[in-house]
A and B are shown apart, each in its own frame.
Chain A
Amino acid sequence: MQQPWITLRLGQTSIRIDRRVPFIFVVCILATLSAMVINIGVGEYPIPAIDVVKTVLHIPTGEEDYNFIVNTLRLPRMLVAALVGLALGISGAIMQGLTRNPLADPSIIGISSGASLVAVSILVLFKGISSNYLPFAAFGGALLVAFAIYMLAWRGGDSPIRLILVGVGLGAITSAATSMMITFGNINDVQRALIWLTGSVYARSWGEFWPLFMWVLVFAPLACFLARDLNALNLGEDVARGLGSNVTYKRGLLLIVAVALAAATVAAAGTIGFVGLMAPHIARRLVGPDHSGMLPVAAMVGALVVVCADLVGRTLFAPIELPCGLITAAIGAPFFVYLLWRQRKS
């Protein structure tokens, strides 16, 4: 009988992945790369796709300006968009898997707001601070909110709606505190904070890219490494314990990974909402709920969503630019309502 997965065995070593994953994964990567190339090409100064690729690869195109426009201005922005989507996709998938709640998402349950609050405070209180420290500050804030949610909503009961309500409440509190920081801040610092808060990859440079890249480089592989443990926890605490999972330790580790990835995206691009909600649902549809294949696919879907949202935001009302966080919210919010409605029915 045909197995639902592909197995590679070499001596005692064996690797297993869902049959659908390799094809879907490659398609998602190609789609994301294409969207990035198109996105770099459009704008006030249009560049043909082939020249975009050539310029990125440092193959001479005969146009002197291309190198500056592509490699200095537009490429880092695109890479930030892709990495933000990738991190949010994984973060959302872990949160949904851990809480067994299809509505969980770092922006909805207030994790992102917590990250924003601390990052904005740092920006306002310490003048001219380097972007390298922002992810750490954001991580601290996100972790604080995650801990508060855990104490208030998660431990007692496992009602999905309760988690969402507590998260939304905490999000409102932290957002209010952020507004207060901004009101009292110095006008120049506030401007820097505001640009950054809107949930946009506008004007992101290599300075924002590298810190984000380092965080993703550490935590994304760690997430994939923990995928099998996430599968066990996704069956519920008791079943996972019965299967021999060290629940407290593994759950804590996964939560830290999810929070760290969400915080790194906030530090780089502000709150880009609903990507962590949508990407895992799309990925689950494509390759099933096994996280060892689902996490990488959710990551690529997330990247694709953010890059496309940015493309739409830049072209829809050009030359006026809409932040990509607005676009993802415009698609994500109705999707969230649909999930809520379906939750009620079951």
Chain B
Amino acid sequence: MGTLHTEALELAYDSNVIIQHMNVSIPSGKITALIGPNGCGKSTLLRGLARLLQPRKGAAYIDGKAIHQMPTRELAKQLGILPQSPIAPEGLTVMELVAQGRYPHQSWFQQWSIEDEQAVEKALAITGMTEFRTRPVDALSGGQRQRAWIAMTLAQETPVILLDEPTTYLDLAHQVEVLQLLEHLNKEQGRTVVMVVHDLNHATRHAQHVIAMKAGKIVAAGVPNEVVTSELLQEVFGIDADIVPDPRTGVPLCIPYGLKGSSAGIKTTSLEAALANGTTS
């Protein structure tokens, strides 16, 4: 359950083609991180997978079914999407927001079933938002607000969750909080998580599968250890960076020094020597 793939997918905004002829598959039951420089099409790809954007050509599939041909409500039971920095209406409480996640499961004659209630309670509990349930979303801190939105997506009870930069505008502690929550969801509930992230170290640390993109094309895809290399960073981001193993977990850790070919790069000889044994590059 929850396998996504695309075949010859082409995505565009008006006449501006962002992604062309893309074939990518996203493993089920794992956390996948989409990385790449600004404008590389990673958010566009996510929006295409979530049918927020209609494909020009080709198709995206979930468990073999064409996403854009499915009834939107049916898809909403399979796949949840949290767009980048959504804004809640003024005065909407956490509970009301999370309850909105049940929309695809409801109808006019079935507005609030026992299952709806249980799903919302569960989503509040997992995200640690139970105590904030009566608070207006706009009165919460950034991290709490993001957790409330994730809770809404969770209440949707979909095997796949897509998130567009879930840690943007959050301070370090709140970033860790959100990423750990996603990791927990993946481990405990087996949900497939696909996220666009800017911070490479978040990607290597929390994702089991990394897809690196550049100019609408996939440059590399696979486990973080194989994908995130100095060569790749040079190619994709145009930066000069060292990759060292994370001292606690062993996942690749990226230390950027400067732009490729720029003289502004810091002399790194001593550090390189010190870390020579551990570098994967």
Chain B contacts for A16, CB-based, 8 A: 111-112
CB distance from A344 to the nearest CB of B (A): 15
Q: A14-B110, A235-B86, A245-B72 are in contact. List 13 more A-B contacts (CB 8 A).
A: A1-B133, A12-B109, A16-B112, A102-B90, A232-B103, A235-B100, A239-B82, A242-B50, A242-B52, A243-B103, A284-B91, A289-B91, A289-B96
Would you give the 0/1 interface string for A1-38, flagging 1 where the beta carbon is closer than 8 Å to chain B?
A: 10111010100111110000000000000000000000
Q: Kindly list the 8 A-B residue pairs having the minimum CB-CB distance in the complex, ordered from nearest.
A: A244-B76, A16-B112, A244-B104, A242-B81, A244-B73, A238-B83, A243-B103, A16-B111
Q: CB of B141 within 8 A of chain A?
A: no
Highest count of chain B CB atoms <10 Å: which of A235, A239, A242: A242
Contact residues, B95-151 vs A (CB, 8 A): 95-97, 100-101, 103-104, 106, 108-114, 117, 133-134
Q: How far is the CA of A232 from the CA of B87 in the complex (A)?
A: 12
CB distance from A281 to the nearest CB of B (A): 10
Chain B contacts for A232, CB-based, 8 A: 100, 103
Can you sample 15 A-B contacts with CB below 8 Å? A4-B93, A4-B96, A5-B112, A14-B110, A97-B89, A228-B106, A232-B103, A241-B81, A242-B83, A243-B101, A244-B76, A244-B103, A246-B73, A288-B96, A289-B90
Q: CB of A132 within 8 A of chain B?
A: no
Count contacts between A and B, CB distance < 8 Å. Answer: 100
Q: CB of A234 within 8 A of chain B?
A: yes
Q: Which residue of A lies closest to B70 (CB)?
A: A244
CB distance from A67 to the nearest CB of B (A): 43
CB distance from A140 to the nearest CB of B (A): 30
Q: Is the CB of B96 within 8 A of A290?
A: yes
How many residues of A are in contact with the other chain, CB < 8 A? Answer: 34
Q: Is the CB of B51 within 8 A of A241?
A: yes
Highest count of chain A CB atoms <10 Å: which of B47, B52, B88, B103: B103
CB distance from B101 to the nearest CB of A (A): 7
Q: How far is the CA of A245 from the CA of B73 in the complex (A)?
A: 7
Q: Is the CB of A12 within 8 A of B52?
A: no
Q: How far is the CA of A236 from the CA of B101 in the complex (A)?
A: 13
Q: CB of B75 within 8 A of chain A?
A: yes
Q: How far is the CA of A274 from the CA of B94 in the complex (A)?
A: 30
Q: How far is the CA of A242 from the CA of B160 in the complex (A)?
A: 12
Q: CB of A225 within 8 A of chain B?
A: yes
Q: Which residue of A lies closest to B91 (CB)?
A: A289
Q: CB of B77 within 8 A of chain A?
A: yes
Contact residues, A232-258 vs B (CB, 8 A): 232, 234-236, 238-239, 241-246
CB distance from B106 to the nearest CB of A (A): 7
Contact of A235 among B88, B110, B117 (CB under 8 A): B88
Q: CB of A198 within 8 A of chain B?
A: no
Q: CB of B259 within 8 A of chain A?
A: no
Q: Is the CB of A15 within 8 A of B111?
A: yes
Chain A contacts for B153, CB-based, 8 A: 242
CB distance from A38 to the nearest CB of B (A): 33
Chain A contacts for B108, CB-based, 8 A: 225, 228
Q: Is the CB of A242 within 8 A of B76?
A: yes
CB distance from A147 to the nearest CB of B (A): 20
Chain B contacts for A3, CB-based, 8 A: 117
Q: Which residue of A lies closest to B105 (CB)?
A: A244
Q: How far is the CA of A102 from the CA of B87 in the complex (A)?
A: 14
Contact residues, B43-74 vs A (CB, 8 A): 47, 50-52, 72-74
CB distance from B84 to the nearest CB of A (A): 9
Q: Is the CB of B72 within 8 A of A244?
A: yes
Q: CB of A131 within 8 A of chain B?
A: no
Chain A contacts for B106, CB-based, 8 A: 228
Q: CB of A231 within 8 A of chain B?
A: yes
Q: CB of B80 within 8 A of chain A?
A: yes
Q: How far is the CA of A4 from the CA of B133 in the complex (A)?
A: 10
